Amino acid sequence: MHTITDKKLLMLRPQEIRSSPYTSRIDIDETGLESLAQCIAYSGLIEPLPVRRNERGFYELICGERRLKAAKMARLRRIPCIVHSVDIATAATYSLSENIQSKGLHFFEEALAIQKLIRNFGVSHTEAAFRLGITQGYLNMKLKLLKLDERLREKIKRENLPEQTAVLLLKIPPEKREAALGEMILKKMNTNTASDLIDEILSPKQKQQNEAVQTEKNDSPVRKTAVSDIRIFSNSLIKLYESMQSAGYDVKFLRHETEKYIEYKIRILKHEELKSSSQLSFRLDAKC
């Protein structure tokens, strides 16, 4: 923990500031960088860059790699910096946390930075999530993205595909991911269409069955009873018959099946003196 009294405002020469070895940002848009450099050249760097003094006595950037590069491009002679008295682990956490909050990183960059933080500083997933101000579920989801091999990640970045595309690819076996991604790119699929493709890869037989059922539904407005529902109902009738037998009733159970229906009859003998019987009859549509 450090307070405002631990911080110092300095005007440092660009060559005095070293980039952080734990920077989260991998790719920087050169076009956007030139635009930012022009703005800094005209208005100056309004917000000071956070730095720390490393073990060798140099000033090391905590976060703001893009602004530092733009300031150098703008040929600023001095750059306003705030010196923080923090160790390298805390500095790395600050850098990643700021980028997560500002949405300044590509989702693969964010995942790699989280993995680097955990591995290099030996923190648990729970502690890393706490330090970064994110949920552990969010952290775990990001780390899962790294299960995609680097070649697929590069394709997704190059085509500027959304994070949901990467999540969908994780659902299918690794050997099918490249072909699926190629089809998504070729056909310029949106998220919904890509999701349908993944479902088809996961269960092509189920998809065909669903299409067949849908076609049958479209041909006839009559609602069909599922086979499983008929079996459940049949079992219920059998249990009813057995329960009545156990209770001492004189019960007969009849079943008759045709191509169109299944018919069940339960015949219960009434008091002997009445010499008559009552009958429950059930008829189930067998088309399903």
- 250: tokens are 């004189």
Q: Is 274 helix (H, G, I), strand (E, B) or coil?
A: helix
Q: What is the pLDDT of residue 6?
A: 61
How many angstroms separate the CA atoms of 76 and 24, rounded? Answer: 24
| Four-way CATH pick for 4-145: 3.40.50.300, 3.20.20.70, 3.20.10.10, 3.90.1530.30 | 3.90.1530.30
| Weakest-pLDDT range from 22-26, 44-48, 115-119, 154-158 | 22-26
Going by C-alpha positions, the residue among 73, 89, 71, 90 that lies closest to residue 81 is 71
Average pLDDT over residues 180-190: 95
Contacts of 168 (CB under 8 A, 6+ apart): 191, 194, 195, 198
Contacts of 213 (CB under 8 A, 6+ apart): none
What is the overall mean pLDDT for the chain?
81
The model scores a pTM over 0.95: no
- Give the model confidence (pLDDT) of 186-234 as tens digits: 999 999 999 999 999 998 655 566 566 566 555 544 444 444 556 666 7
Average pLDDT over residues 60-88: 91
How many angstroms separate the CA atoms of 189 and 207, rounded? Answer: 19
Residue 277 banded pLDDT, cuts 50, 70, 90? very low
Top pLDDT among 144 and 231 is at 144
CB 172 within 8 A of CB 198: yes
Asked if the model's pLDDT at residue 3 lies above 50, the reply is: no
How many angstroms separate the CA atoms of 210 and 217, rounded? Answer: 10
Q: What is the pLDDT of residue 224?
A: 44
